[in-house]
Amino acid sequence: MALLLQLQLRAWLWTALVLYVFAGSWRQTDGQLHSEDHADVNVFHNNLEDANVMLELLWEGLEIEANKTIRLQDEELASLRPAKRFLQIFQHQVPKTSEGIKEQLKHLSQADAPLSLVEFDQLLFTSVYCAYQIRSIQGLDKNLWISFFSQLVDEILHDLCKGFCPANSTLLASWPWKEKPFYLTSLKKSYHSSVAMMKRGTE
3-state secondary structure 119-137: HHHHHHHHHHHHHHHHHHC
Tell me how many helices (H) and strands (E) the chain has. Answer: 8, 2
Residue 31: count other Cβ atoms within 10 Å of its Cβ: 6
> What's this model's pTM, rounded to 2 decimal places?
0.65
11: burial class by Cβ within 10 Å (0-12, 13-18, 19+)?
middle
Nearest-CA neighbor of 12 among 147, 188, 116, 149?
149
| pLDDT tens, the chain, 203 aa long | 445 555 555 555 555 555 554 454 445 444 444 444 444 445 555 555 666 667 777 766 777 777 777 888 778 877 877 778 878 888 888 999 999 999 999 998 888 888 887 888 888 889 888 888 887 887 888 889 989 988 998 888 777 777 655 555 555 556 666 665 555 555 555 444 443 433 444 44
Nearest-CA neighbor of 151 among 182, 115, 127?
127
